[in-house]
């Protein structure tokens, strides 16, 4: 029996590799928790996944509004959840007495085309605003809720929309993993002579990306980052690897345009790709790329016009440029902060820094391409003061999840050129450690909200009795 299974795996390793990844992505979605009024875990149980933290419930409330009400006026949806126990915001967020649960929204005067935020305590200023004349609209972009609503509308007026949103995220994430495999396979064929080793290394680094980085955890959340990661991988594949197929330029434009509707800063990739095409004077590709991005970009400009009467005045009143902080500290924190950095949660990625040098010697064109995709986006988020101390309700460096596959790819380029066996052993030790860390977060995410990777060991030492009690209550 064992030999038969082994033979089948050897005959089709790609299929079994992706079945393995699929299983490990889906199983953690069934492990759920309940909280008390202080957001302390009280019980573990098995059930369908839910929206948990940070911006997730606020993206989701817009999703339910679009599906159930066919509008983006969200006051009734927040009220349904907070006062009537409905699932419009997610079943974990129905207790309006919790001071940490607010409304991420703006006030919209439809008649005068005015959009304004309310104060940080989510209170109305009665001397300035009349609750009757202003409507509550999302303070977050509509792209993610709209994208999900197209797929989840059959679940209208049910609480299954919430679980559906998580499984859409997993589906999109698995597409990203598949395109990462295609990218690895392309470069393996280019630089590795032995055919068997090509497939082995392509699958090995696909597993490293899928299961040894923070992407594993974020694949089952309702944040925008797993979507951005997949979008950028797909865009990279069609733009740089399939570049000879001119018609392929439409796909990167379209998919990056969708990403722009989900969060404005992601739109920098539209500009970067356009600059590359203009620099290379590839006018046919430029036309197709722009044509692909036209529909989603026009949609967001139309949304701006609905809200403010101007296509160039974005509805969100606050500006990212107003949040500039210490860039140098931000860069260091983005990679090495014990709670919000990339490396502490995926230590094998330290070899990505060696990968830059290895790739420069191997393929300068690819080196500059990856540099262009990684550095500007990293500098943007590292420069914002809100990322100096991390993102609320997040695991590791949420804003930089987008660059993770390219850091893994840099490790791939280092690995295929490395001849130092000692460094290779360290690499695999770090990879195993990375798997353990991210497996913990994939299965027990609430324990890792804004905490370092060793938090579970700290809790075992300081609160071991309470954890045992929670497990006992969960089992019986």
Is 92 within the bounds of a domain? yes
Number of domains in the chain: 2
Say what the pLDDT of residue 117 is: 64
- What is d(CA 306, CA 288) in angstroms, rounded to the nearest whole number? 28
Residue 83: which domain range?
A: 48-140
| Mean pLDDT calculated for residue range 200-210 | 96
**pLDDT digit string, tens, across residues 442-469:** 988 777 777 888 876 666 666 666 666 6
Diameter of the chain by CA atoms?
Answer: 77
pLDDT at 292 over 90: yes
Structure letter (DSSP) for residue 384: B
Q: Which residue has the higher pLDDT, 191 or 456?
A: 191
pLDDT at residue 125 greater than cutoff 50: no
Tell me the per-residue pLDDT of 1-36, one tens digit each, with 9 for 90 and over: 556 656 666 678 889 999 999 999 999 999 887 776
342 found inside a domain: no
Q: List the one residue out of 301, 364, 327, 346 whose CA is nearest residue 439.
A: 346
417: in domain: no
Q: From residue 244, how far is each of 216, 236, 283, 325, 369 by CA, in Å?
A: 33, 13, 13, 41, 16
Residue 316: its pLDDT value, please? 52
pLDDT at 274: 95
The answer to whether 124 and 302 are in contact (CB under 8 A) is no
* Higher-confidence position of 117 and 62: 62
Within 8 A by CB and 6+ apart from 387, the residues are 325, 330, 333, 334, 340, 381, 397, 399
Point out the least confidently predicted range of 116-130, 163-177, 358-372: 116-130
Residue 472 has a pLDDT of 65
- The whole-number pLDDT of residue 210 equals 97
Which pLDDT does position 100 carry in this prediction? 47
Q: Please check the confidence at residue 317 and state whether its pLDDT lies above 50.
A: no
How far apart (Å, rounded) are the C-alpha atoms in residues 164 and 225? 17
pLDDT above 90 as % of the chain: 51
Q: For residue 221, tell me if it sits in a domain.
A: no
The C-alpha atoms of residue 391 and residue 379 are separated, in whole angstroms, by 16
Residue 73 lies in a domain: yes
Q: What's the pLDDT band for 95 if we cut at 50, 70, 90?
A: very low
Q: What angle do CA 99, 221, 122 make, to 5 degrees?
A: 25
Q: What is the pLDDT of residue 101?
A: 55
- Domain end call among 140, 166, 197: 140
Question: For position 406, what pLDDT does the model report?
Answer: 97
Considering the domain boundaries, does residue 130 fall inside one? yes
Domain boundary among 83, 105, 140: 140
Least-confidence region, from 9-23, 30-44, 262-276, 397-411? 30-44
Encoded tokens for 22: 């699929």
What phi and psi values does residue 344 have, to the nearest 5 degrees?
Answer: -60, -25
Last residue of one domain, picked from the residues 140, 160, 185: 140
Identify whether 346 is part of a domain.
Answer: no
Nearest to 250 by CA among 294, 211, 209: 294
Residues 20, 175: Cα–Cα separation, whole Å = 15
CB 416 within 8 A of CB 191: yes
Q: Is the pLDDT assigned to residue 208 strictly greater than 60?
A: yes
378, pLDDT greater than 60:
yes
Q: Kindly indicate the confidence band of residue 87, based on its pLDDT and cuts at 50, 70 and 90.
A: confident
Query: Domain for residue 227, yes or no?
Result: no
Q: Is the pLDDT assigned to residue 395 strictly greater than 90? A: no
The pLDDT of residue 309 = 77
* Mean pLDDT along residues 223-249: 92
């Amino acid at each position: 029996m064992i030999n038969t299974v082994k033979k089948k795996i050897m005959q089709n390793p790609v299929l079994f590799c992706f079945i393995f990844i699929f299983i490990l992505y889906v199983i953690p979605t069934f492990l759920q928790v309940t909280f008390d009024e202080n957001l302390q875990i009280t019980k573990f149980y098995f059930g369908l996944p839910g929206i948990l933290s940070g911006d997730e419930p606020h993206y989701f409330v817009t999703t339910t509004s679009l599906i159930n009400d066919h509008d983006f006026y969200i006051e009734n949806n927040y009220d349904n959840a907070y006062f009537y126990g409905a699932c419009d915001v997610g079943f974990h967020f129905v207790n309006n007495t919790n001071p940490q649960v607010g409304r991420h929204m703006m006030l919209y005067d439809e008649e005068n085309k005015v959009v304004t935020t309310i104060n940080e305590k989510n209170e109305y200023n009665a001397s300035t605003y009349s609750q009757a004349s202003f409507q509550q609209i999302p303070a977050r972009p509509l792209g993610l809720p709209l994208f999900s609503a197209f797929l989840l509308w059959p679940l209208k007026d049910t609480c299954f929309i919430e679980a559906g949103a998580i499984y859409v995220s997993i589906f999109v994430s698995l597409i990203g993993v598949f395109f990462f495999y295609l990218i690895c396979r392309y470069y393996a064929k280019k630089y590795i002579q032995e055919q068997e080793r090509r497939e082995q290394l392509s699958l090995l680094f696909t597993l490293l990306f899928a299961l040894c980085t923070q992407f594993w955890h974020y694949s089952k959340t309702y944040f925008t980052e797993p979507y951005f990661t997949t979008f950028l991988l797909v865009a990279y594949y069609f733009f740089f690897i399939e570049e000879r197929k001119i018609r392929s330029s439409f796909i990167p434009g379209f998919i990056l345009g969708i990403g722009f509707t989900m969060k404005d800063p992601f739109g920098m990739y539209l500009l970067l790709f356009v600059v590359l095409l203009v620099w290379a004077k590839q006018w046919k590709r430029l036309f197709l790329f722009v044509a692909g991005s036209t529909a989603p970009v026009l949609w967001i400009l139309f949304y701006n016009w609905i809200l403010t009467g101007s296509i160039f005045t974005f509805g969100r009143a606050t500006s990212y440029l107003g949040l500039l902080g210490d860039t140098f500290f931000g860069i260091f924190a983005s990679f090495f902060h014990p709670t919000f950095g990339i490396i502490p949660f995926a230590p094998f990625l330290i070899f990505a820094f060696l990968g830059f040098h290895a790739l420069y010697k191997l393929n300068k064109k690819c080196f500059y391409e990856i540099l262009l995709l990684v550095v500007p986006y990293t500098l943007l988020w590292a420069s914002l003061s809100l990322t100096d101390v991390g993102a609320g309700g997040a695991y590791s460096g949420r804003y930089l999840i987008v660059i993770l596959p390219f850091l893994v790819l840099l490790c791939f380029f280092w690995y295929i050129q490395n001849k130092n066996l000692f460094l290779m052993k360290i690499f695999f030790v770090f990879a195993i450690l990375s798997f353990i860390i991210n497996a913990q977060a994939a299965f027990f995410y609430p324990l890792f909200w804004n905490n370092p990777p060793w938090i579970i060991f700290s809790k075992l030492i300081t609160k071991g009795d309470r954890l045992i009690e929670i497990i006992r209550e969960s089992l019986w």
